[in-house]
Amino acid sequence: MATGSRTLRTAAWLLGVLLAGCDVETDRVEYAVGESGVATFRNRAPWTLYLGGCAHFEYEKLVDGQWLPQGADVACVWEGNAQPVRPGRAVEDPLRAREPGTWRLRYAVGVGCSATHPLQRCDRVYAVTSPAFEVRASGAGCAVTGCSAQLCVDARLAGEIATTCEWRPEYACLRGARCGPFGPDGACGWEETPELRACVEAAKRSP
């Protein structure tokens, strides 16, 4: 029993040190639907921390007082090896404002890991969340939805659309694209820019 108590105390101490030693922030506290932003993870701890090798964070949405997981921007086929973040370093990732509501980001942060193994092989993995941020409906009432955030649709329909959860290389091109009234007759759609077209064409040609 004494050994179990010491283990619990050690885990609680590690969690306290970890939470004090790292922080997550977004570049804004409010976004319009479809806007892109930046999330920053900073390691202020005196030792190396580790993030997931495929996606660094997942989205969570506040629904009826509970934070519900909403997945990542990338559908991971394999977890990948843990990514080290050394003391004093920061890691930036793009984020995409999805449908209207209150959101936050949840990072899985590992301690006692190896850069040659997945995060699940770490000694311990803790959840660290960002402050909440708001996503407001855009003027056109368009929203990004879909399991891989690949659709730009009328915000009123976003919660009713269900998609399969496959990942295509061209979906990565949408991270920096604008969702709005860019479709035929002002319908919701992705803004067709030369950069987006070139990115999609290159992604489709890749093996």
Look at the domain 1-136 and name its fold.
Immunoglobulin-like (2.60.40)
Could you tell me the pLDDT band of residue 1, with boundaries at 50, 70 and 90? very low
Domain boundaries, the chain: 1-136, 139-207
Residue 32 pLDDT grade (very low, low, confident, very high; cuts 50, 70, 90): confident
What residues are paired with 22 via a beta bridge?
43
Average pLDDT of every residue of the chain: 86
* pTM, two decimal places: 0.64
- pLDDT greater than 70 at residue 47: yes
pLDDT tens-digit readout, 114-164: 999 999 999 999 999 999 999 887 655 788 888 888 999 888 787 788 788
DSSP collapsed to 3 states, the chain: CHHHHHHHHHHHHHHHHHHHHEEEEECCCEEECCCEEEEEEEECCCCCEEECCCCCEEEEEEECCEEEEEECCCCCCCCCCCEEECCCCEEEEEEECCCCEEEEEEEEEEECCCCCCCHHHCCEEEEEECCCEEEECCCCCEEEECCCCCEEEEHHHHCCCCCCCCCCHHHHHHHHCCEEECCHHHCCEECCCHHHHHHHHHHHHCC
